Structures are given as C-alpha cells and as structure tokens.
Chains A and B, each alone.
Chain A
Amino acid sequence: KEDDSAGDSAGSGGGKKITLGFSQVGSESGWRTANSESVKSAAKEAGYTLKFSDAQQKQENQISAIRNYIAQKVDVIAFSPVVVTGWDAVLKEAKAAKIPVVLTDRSVETSDDSLYVTLVGSDFTDEGRRAAKILEKVIEKAGLKGNVKIAQLEGTTGAAPAIERAKGFKEVMDAEHKDDWKIVVSQTGDFTRAGGKQVMAAFLQSNPDINVLFAHNDDMAIGAIQSIEAAGKKPGKDILIVSIDGVKDGFVAMSEGKINAIVECNPLLGPQLMEVVKTVHDGGTVERWIKTKEGDFMQDQAKAALPTRKY
C-alpha cells in the first residue's frame, strides 16, 4: 500500500523520499505512547515514509520486524530495543544489506560496535543517579533529620528501566550515604498506579516508619500517594517522594505538593531522531550517543513547568 505519496515535496533534497523503519517496544505506558506519537508526527513533518511496528514487548517481534524492514529495503532502521542483548544476528543482516541502524531510548550490547550508528536517548542508570542526587536536595529542603528510611517501588521485575534505575540510585547511595540512608523495603509495583497503590499500602502496614519513597516512575508514585493518604499521612511531608519520568499527572501531583521531586525522562525524541536519520542517510557522521534534553524538577518549578507538559 502506497500512502502519504502526497507529502513527497518535503522529501530530502528533492530526491527520493526517505523510508524509515521504526520498531517500537510496545505501548505499555503513557510514556511509550507519547514516544511513539512523537516519532510519528516528527516523521510526518520531515516528510519521511514511516514504517512503524509495535512489538508488544517481545524481542522476537522486533527481530522479525527488522528482518521485514530489511526485506522491504528501507533506507534507515530505528528501534527502541526491548532488551539490551541478543541483537547481533539481525543487526549483522542489516549491515550486510547496508542499512544504517539508529537506536533510540536505550542502548544494546553488541560484540561489534559498527552494528549501529548512534543512540538517541537517555540513560536509565543516570536517571537513578539523578534521583538520588535530587533526593539529597529534597531532604535538605524538608529539613529531615535522622535516618532516612526509604521505600522503593520498583518497575516490572526484569525490565531494564527497573534494574538500571535501581542500580544508579544505589550507586550514589552507597557512595555518599552509606550510614544515613537505608532502603528498608523494596518491591515491584509493575510500573502501574494500581501496583504502586497496593504495594505502598502493604509497606505502610509492615514499616510504618518509612519517611522517603523512591518510585521508578510517576504512575507508581501517584498510586502510592493514594495509599499514603488513606493511611492518614501526608505525602510530600510525612513521606518525601521522588520519582522518575515527568508525565503530566506527576507534575500535577507535584504542584499540589504531593511529590517532592521528579527526574525527567523525555519521550519526545522524534524531532531529534529525524535529524539524525537525515544525517545518517546523507552519509554524515553523528555522535555515538546523542542525549536527549532532560531536566530535574523540584516542587517550586512544578507550577511553571506544568503548562508545558504535553503527555
């Protein structure tokens, strides 16, 4: 099916329109959907033909999608890998077919660095580190004295963001707060609000003295806030909350004073990706890792930032 043939004019340098094959992980969260939308609209704006496929969180689907892109002879392949490992074979096929590959969102482990051109995206471990750093500020601001008892709401067990965010956070904690910070409980909330709420309710029963919550994403934090309130405590005051992502609802909660700080993980990397695709297609060189523009937000910045939140 030939579509979008009307948008030809915007193509690169008047030549043939670039065809980009993009394999998305899935649509497991609002963040991911915003990411997909960003890629789609940016591709349209840039006038590329976009072949988009959703892998439903399965690596095998992504691999077969990439194979199909190779069979269809697209110009550039981009994908957000479901997992970091296991891409060598299919990337070698792409290389053999002389199709450049751009990673988005996260990196892969390969034996041969030439298998992909560049990575556009953030780094989950770094987000964990930033979360720990900003927690320092939050604690200082709130004037919390004594031991910091942290409850951690992890993402889906085995999922990379969950593992790496926890890793980054722990790294900083072990290095700088070995004595005064302690993660007293840690469980998976599956990145969902319902999960966050349920797990937090149980935490508050078994460890009523928790005073800090670190959630691997905003949704779990929002769920946890409800449980904290149900237990008669004040989120943001009795229990300080730091989370990652920066979705709109997170900012709303932060502007209400219920979340103390958010580490942003920006999904809107479509435009950046399109630029990279064009450069790569035209044979230009790009950096190995193009970081997305992201910020850390404290409560006082929330009100101002809220209107700019799109997703």
Chain B
Amino acid sequence: MTTTTRWRALTRHNLFWPVAVLVALLLVNIPFTPDFFAIHMTDGHLYGSLVSIVLFGSPLILVAVGMTLVIATGGIDLSVGAVVAITGALTCSYISDQKDQDALAGVLLAMGLGLLAAVVCGLWNGFLVARMGIQPIIATLIIMVAGRGVAQLITDGQIITINSEPYKLIGGGYWLTLPFSIFVVAAVVAVTVALTRRTALGLLVESVGGNAEASRLVGIRSMRIKIMVYVFCALCAGIAGLMISSNTSAADGNNAGLWIELDAILAVVIGGTSLLGGRFSIGGTVVGALVIQTLTTTIYTIGVPTQTNLVFKAAVVIVVCLLQSPKFRAKVFGARAKTTAPATPAAAPAEPAPKMEVS
C-alpha cells in the first residue's frame, strides 16, 4: 500500500516522465556500446560517453534555460541561434586580431564584447516585444534573419580559427578533470534558479505569462520583466555562443547554432513548461535538453542510417510527448490502473486527501 502510494506520488511528479525517458534513452545504448557508462581517465581528464553528452549538451542547456523564462512570460525567442553566431563571431574575430591570442585580458575583453552584443540583441527583442507590442515570434524573427548576416559580416563569410588556450577552456577545456563547460552550465543554472526562486522574479514572470492583464493591474511592471527575460535569454545564448566557438576554436557565422532554437524550445516543452506561458521549471528544462542531446548521441552511436535520423528523432519526440500527456496515459494505462488498484479509491478517506507534492 505505502509503496503503491509512493509510486503514484512519484509518477505524478512533473519531472518523472522526462527523467524516465532520459534513462530509457541512455539504456538503449548499452547493446550497441557495452561500455557506454564507462568513464576513464585520459590525458588527465575524465572521458566517456556521459561526459561528452554533458559537454556537447552544454550550449543547448544554456539556450534552453534562457528560453524557459521567455516562454514563461508567454513569449518565444527565435533569434537565439543568430545570437549564438554573432557572439562567437565577434569574440573570435577580436581574439584573432590580437597579437598574443593567449593573453587573458584580451580574451576576457573579447568575451565581454561578444556578450555585450548578445545583450544588445536581447534588448532589441525586448524592446520590440514589450515596448512596441509586436508578437514575439515575428519580433525575434527579425534578428533570426538579419543576425546571421551580421555574424557573417563580422567573419567575412569565412570560418575564423583562433588559437587561444584560455579561450579554449570555456567550451573545450577541462577543470578538475571535468569539462569546464559543466561548471559554466552549473553556474548559470544555479544563478537562474536563485534569481527566479530566491527572489520574486519567478513569481512575477509566471504571473505575467499566466495573465498579462491581471499582472498589469496588480502593478507588475511587465514591460521591464519582459525586457529582462529577453536580455537574459540572449545572454544565455551569448554564453552558449562562446562555448560553441570555443569548443572548436573557430567561429562559423553561418552554421553556429543553426536550428538550436527549435531544439531549445523542444527541451523546454519536454521539461514540462507550457508554451502558453505561466508555470515554468528550470530543472525540467535541463532534463529536457539532456534528453535531446542524449538522443543525438544515441543516433550517432547506434548506427542509424543518416537518412532515417530525422524519422528516429520524430519518433522519440512523439513518444516523449505522448508519455507526458496525462490524457494519453489515462487512455492507455488508465484501464489497467483501474483494474489493478481497485482498493485505493474505496479506501480514500473522507477527510481531505494528503497535501499535493510541491516543487
């Protein structure tokens, strides 16, 4: 009895299904790569599939975390991919112009410059959405289209290769035997969680997304909040841009972060945040992003023929979404649940049921 109730409470938890899918996907790899979970030391750092999932998934996690807040306000940001490209391009082109590419000051300045550009993009998006009242999808489409042009303008259409050890650290380096990017992601996620849950920002964001007019009438400065989340999202995309360009030590204005916005949105939704705005879950988003990255890695390792990559991806996305849909679960598993546990409803006490699980 207690185990069944605990199990039911667990399955009701909003992270249960995404995590279950993540675990399932990881397990799928075992028959194909028996030592999939093995991690060993190579060249003084940890090496293994799990490490590379986190390493290559880092930019997606970052972008998706930023995207979560935007979506929570009822918006959407299509420009993140372009921002990734601009940031990487600007930073790399600045570094490549330096005489000593290893000089820390120069690298920091370059990164600052790149992130500044990202913030400017975010401000512009925020301005269009919050101030001008333009629909987010179209407001951010502008930078999505023009931004890549700007990135290519900066790189002159070429791939800029740099050779800077300090810059390499962010996206490709290791620290304490772990990929440095894990620490960056952890820091950004921690800051985001702190910012939204330790302060009232999360509440206000959810309120704006849940009912914009009501929020205005309780005196929430929704314009400011919206601008803030777009800037934050762009900043996250900017950091992801640094990471992507640092990972390969090259800035590719055309391909860096291509279609990352779709994956990010997908991650947010898999994580349980509604695209209509309102309630959001950063933890869910991180899991969602890991699901997507694991899926990508799985496609590479289990030897799916290239032409069926997308079909495979579509199938997984559909399965994840179906599993997450309470309606689907009720229809498919519902019948069985009723027959196996008929005692539970009858035994339900007349007094109010136990308090619901709170995240």
| B residues near A205, Cβ cutoff 8 Å | 33, 36, 48-49, 52, 301
The interface-forming segment of B199-207, B242-250, B275-283, B312-320 is B242-250
Query: Which B residues lie within 8 Å of A158 (CB)?
Result: 307
Q: Closest residue to A29 on the B side, CB-wise?
A: B254
Contact between chains at B307 and A157 (CB < 8 Å): yes
B159 touches A219 (CB 8 A): yes
Q: Which B residue sits closest to A230, measured CB to CB?
A: B47
**Is residue A192 contacting chain B, with contact meaning CB distance below 8 A?**
yes
The answer to the question of B334 belonging to the interface, with a C-beta cut-off of 8 Å to chain A, is no
Encode contact with B along A238-262: 1 for CB under 8 Å, 0 otherwise.
0000000001010010000000000
Contact of B244 among A33, A154, A194, A252 (CB under 8 A): A194
Stretch of A100-108, A125-133, A196-204, A270-278 that contacts chain B: A196-204
The answer to whether A187 touches B306, judged by C-beta atoms less than 8 angstroms apart, is yes
Q: Are B256 and A202 in contact (CB under 8 A)?
A: no
Q: Across the two chains, which residue of chain B brings its CB closest to A194?
A: B248
Binary interface encoding of chain B residues 226-256 relative to chain A, with 1 for a CB under 8 A from any of its CBs, else 0: 0000000000000000001001111010111
Q: Is the CB of A80 closer than 8 A to any CB of chain B?
A: no
Question: Is B98 among interface residues, defined by CB-CB distance under 8 A?
Answer: no
Determine if A122 is an interface residue (Cβ-Cβ < 8 Å).
no
* Residue of A whose beta carbon sits closest to that of B249: A226
Q: Type the 1/0 row for B45-56, where 1 means its CB is closer than 8 Å to any CB of A.
A: 001110010001
A299 within 8 A of B: no
Whether A187 contacts B157 by the Cβ 8 Å rule is no
Q: Are B255 and A187 in contact (CB under 8 A)?
A: no
Does the CB pair B248–A193 fall under 8 Å?
yes
Tell whether B303 is near chain A: CB-to-CB under 8 Å.
yes
- Asked, given contacts A157-B309, A199-B300, A206-B33, whether A33 binds B252 with beta carbons under 8 Å apart, the answer is no
Could you tell me if A30 and B158 are in contact, using CB atoms closer than 8 angstroms? yes
CB distance from A4 to the nearest CB of B (A): 21
Please judge, given known A-B contacts A157-B309, A188-B306, A232-B47, whether A202 and B159 are in contact too, CB under 8 Å: no
**Contact partners of B156 in chain A: CB under 8 A:** 33
- Known A193-B250, A231-B47, A232-B42: A311·B158 in contact at CB below 8 Å: yes
The closest CB in chain A to the CB of B52 belongs to: A201
**Roughly how many angstroms separate A206 CA and B52 CA in the complex, as a whole number?**
13
Contacts of B172 in A (CB 8 A): 226
Which residues does chain B contribute within 8 Å of A34, judged by CB atoms?
A: 158
- Least Cβ distance of B262 to chain A in Å? 14
Closest to B45 in A: A230
Provide the bound-state CA to CA distance between A230 and B249, in Å.
14
B158 near A232 (CB under 8 angstroms)?
no
Rounded to whole angstroms, the CA-CA distance of A157 and B304 in the bound complex is 13
Q: Is the CB of A28 within 8 A of B254?
A: yes
CA distance A201 to B49 in the complex (A): 8
C-alpha gap A231/B39 in the complex (Å): 11
Cα(A232)–Cα(B174), bound, Å: 14
B22 to chain A, nearest CB (A): 17
CA distance A158 to B49 in the complex (A): 28
**In the docked arrangement, what's the CA distance between A174 and B9, Å?**
58
Interface residues of chain A: helix, strand, loop or mixed (majority): helix
Report the Cα distance A33→B300, complex, angstroms. 30
- Contact mask B302-338 → A, CB, 8 Å, 1/0? 1100110100000000000000000000000000000
* Pairwise interchain contact B296-A198, C-beta atoms closer than 8 A: yes
Give the total of B residues in contact with A, Cβ under 8 Å.
37
Residues on B with C-beta less than 8 A from A247 are 159
Q: Does any Cβ of B come within 8 Å of A185's Cβ?
A: yes
Q: Does B161 contact A (CB under 8 A)?
A: yes
- List of B residues within 8 angstroms of A226 by Cβ: 172, 247-249
| B87 contacts A by Cβ under 8 Å | no
Taken together as a complex, chains A and B put the C-alpha atoms of A205 and B56 apart, in Å, by 14
Question: Bound complex: CA of A274 vs CA of B250, how far in Å?
Answer: 33
Alpha-carbon separation in the docked complex, A158 to B249 (Å): 28
Is there contact, CB below 8 Å, between B49 and A222? Answer: no
When the two chains form their complex, are residues B47 and A197 in contact, meaning their CB atoms are under 8 A apart?
no
A254 to chain B, nearest CB (A): 14
Which residues of chain A from 52 to 86 have a CB within 8 Å of any chain B CB?
none
Residue B297 interfacial (CB < 8 Å)? yes
Q: Are the CB atoms of A154 and B306 closer together than 8 Å?
A: yes
- Pair B152/A27 contact, Cβ less than 8 Å: yes
**A202 is contacted by which of B43, B52, B157, B255 (Cβ under 8 Å)?**
B52
Is A185 in contact with B56, judged by CB distance below 8 angstroms?
A: no
A197 touches B247 (CB 8 A): yes
Q: Is B32 an interface residue (CB 8 A)?
A: yes
Residues of chain B contacted by A219 (CB below 8 angstroms): 159, 252
Given contacts A30-B157, A202-B297, is CB(A222)–CB(B33) below 8 Å?
no
In the bound assembly, the distance between CA atoms of A85 and B278 in angstroms comes to 48
Closest to B157 in A: A33
- Closest Cβ of chain B: how far from A194's Cβ, in Å? 5
Q: Which of B156, B158, B172 has the most CB of A within 10 A?
A: B158
In the complex with contacts A30-B157, A191-B255, A222-B248, A231-B297 CB distance below 8 A: no
Report if A249-B244 is in contact (Cβ < 8 Å); known contacts: A27-B254, A28-B254, A193-B252.
no
Smallest beta-carbon distance A184→chain B, Å: 9
What A residues does B43 contact at CB under 8 A?
Answer: 230, 232
A36 within 8 A of partner (CB): yes
Closest 3 CB pairs of A and B: A33-B157, A202-B300, A232-B42
Q: Give me 12 A-to-B residue pairs in the complex whose CB atoms sit less than 8 angstroms apart, sorted by A's number.
A: A33-B156, A188-B309, A191-B255, A194-B247, A194-B255, A202-B300, A205-B49, A205-B52, A206-B301, A226-B172, A231-B47, A249-B159
Chain A residues with a Cβ under 8 A of chain B: 27-30, 32-34, 36-37, 154, 157-158, 185-188, 190-195, 197-199, 201-203, 205-206, 219, 222-223, 226, 230-232, 247, 249, 252, 311
Apart from A33-B157, A222-B250, 19 more pairs, CB < 8 Å: A27-B157, A28-B254, A30-B159, A36-B157, A37-B157, A188-B306, A190-B255, A194-B256, A197-B248, A202-B297, A202-B300, A203-B300, A205-B49, A206-B33, A222-B248, A230-B42, A230-B47, A231-B47, A249-B161
